[in-house]
Amino acid sequence: MSVIAPQPGIMDIELYVGGSSTVKGVTEVVKLSSNENPLGTSDAVKAAHGKTGHNLHRYPSTDHAALRAAIAEVHGLDAERIICGQGSDEVLQFVTQAYAGVGDEIVYPEHGFSMYPILAKMVGATPIAVPERERTVDVDAMLAACTDKTKIVFIANPGNPTGTMLGGNDVARLADGLPEGCILVHDGAYTEYVQGFDGGASLVEALDNVVMTRTFSKIYGLGGLRVGWGYASKDIIGVLNRVRQPFNLSTVQLAVAEAAVRDQEWVTKCRAENARLRAWLAEALAEIGVPSDTSTTNFILARFADQAEAEACDDYLKAEGLIVRRVTGYGLPNCLRITVGDEPSCRRVAHTIGNFKVEYH
């Protein structure tokens, strides 16, 4: 049988490596590898989910008007400038598909979210990874890397897997300094973990070349629901809607996400609990000789002496049923990314890394 060749470049796309939830031979696993909310979802969201099963013979709304209105109301935004997708991943894909193609360049920080180069290659564009400074976006280096072929610049702010944050003035300087016709995507998947942060919404209001993306997968505890959204100028949203499938979100997704965004009490509670346990975990790790940068998210980037120690620790944790994330693929081979779980999980991961440190040295 002959092999049917895909489009040029497709086989250069590296498959996304997700967080596994199983360890061979271990029955009780603690998963701290995908930055999920250990508190899950609120009762209001569970109730909304329970009610969604009755109208499934009807197609869902194509324009997501009710969900967009709820998001707009809660965040004080213009509903006409919002677009919703299958996770923020899909919104990032809309932007890439609509604004970049063969021969174009897409610039992102070297430790940026792993979907950025994947998305670039999906449309035949060239991904350009730019060195960071102290595991934070280097605005000057990003601007220097842009050429007249650069169509999109991606940054996650706060960053994943770094957990660090770029200040508002620096983000504005980046957006302002981009070449004509280049879009800055300000990926705000972890926005809600930063008290009072608008995720880049005010920058979208001020500049026409900025797209903000957000998700229900993190603080809302809805990674399995797959809903995210974007905010941009009316012109950009009008473009993005042209590459969106008409029924890209189901009736269930729309109803559950709407209930979730209306339940800001849950968000406040989760943010406080995360901050408390994040501080505890960072300190516990520092005490056993595992430093990390100050995290603004729901994970900690734990630093080891070298790649060998990080990998040995990962293997040790796995054997104990604890799954964390190796970030070698993000250019951080001596680090492990550890999600801030519930209190027993935080205590267990810190205790197990402590045992590893004693045995390894």
Residues that bind ligand PMP (CB under 6 A): 87-89, 113, 156, 160, 187, 189, 215, 217, 223, 228
**CB proximity list for 93: less than 8 A, separation 6 or greater:** 85, 119, 122
Q: How far is the CB of 211 from ligand PMP (least distance, A)?
A: 13
Count the helices and strands in the chain (H runs, E runs). Answer: 12, 12
Q: How far is the CB of 26 from ligand PMP (least distance, A)?
A: 24
Q: Give the CA distances from residue 117 to residues 15, 106, 165, in Å, rounded to whole numbers and listed in that order.
A: 11, 8, 21
Angle between helices 87-99 and 115-122 (to 10 degrees): 40
Q: How far is the CB of 1 from ligand PMP (least distance, A)?
A: 36
Q: How far is the CB of 4 from ligand PMP (least distance, A)?
A: 30
Q: Residue 219: which of 259, 255, 268 has the closest Cα?
A: 268
Q: How far is the CB of 187 from ligand PMP (least distance, A)?
A: 5
Which one, 156 or 267, has the nearer CB to ligand PMP?
A: 156
Q: How far is the CB of 215 from ligand PMP (least distance, A)?
A: 3
Which one, 33 or 352, has the nearer CB to ligand PMP?
A: 33
Which one, 298 or 352, has the nearer CB to ligand PMP?
A: 298
Q: Which two tokens stand for residue 81?
A: 């400038």
Q: Residue 228: which of 253, 199, 203 has the closest Cα?
A: 253
Which one, 87 or 200, has the nearer CB to ligand PMP?
A: 87
Q: Give the CA distances from residue 232 to residues 26, 119, 285, 297, in Å, rounded to whole numbers and listed in that order.
A: 46, 19, 40, 24
Which one, 119 or 350, has the nearer CB to ligand PMP?
A: 119
> What ranges in 127-183 are assigned the alpha helix state H?
139-145, 168-177
Which one, 162 or 209, has the nearer CB to ligand PMP?
A: 162
Which one, 199 or 228, has the nearer CB to ligand PMP?
A: 228
CB closest to ligand PMP, residue no: 87
Q: How far is the CB of 299 from ligand PMP (least distance, A)?
A: 9
Q: How far is the CB of 297 from ligand PMP (least distance, A)?
A: 9
Buried b / exposed e across 290-315, counting CB within 10 Å, b at 16+? Answer: bebbebbbbbbbbbbeeeebbbebbe
Which one, 261 or 350, has the nearer CB to ligand PMP?
A: 261
CA–CA distance, 110 with 136 (Å, rounded to integer) = 10
Q: How far is the CB of 111 from ligand PMP (least distance, A)?
A: 11
Which one, 125 or 156, has the nearer CB to ligand PMP?
A: 156
- Coil, helix or strand for 138? coil
CA–CA distance, 136 with 106 (Å, rounded to integer) = 18
Q: Do residues 47 and 41 lie in contact, with contact meaning Cβ atoms separated by under 8 Å? A: no
CA–CA distance, 172 with 164 (Å, rounded to integer) = 17
CA–CA distance, 106 with 97 (Å, rounded to integer) = 12
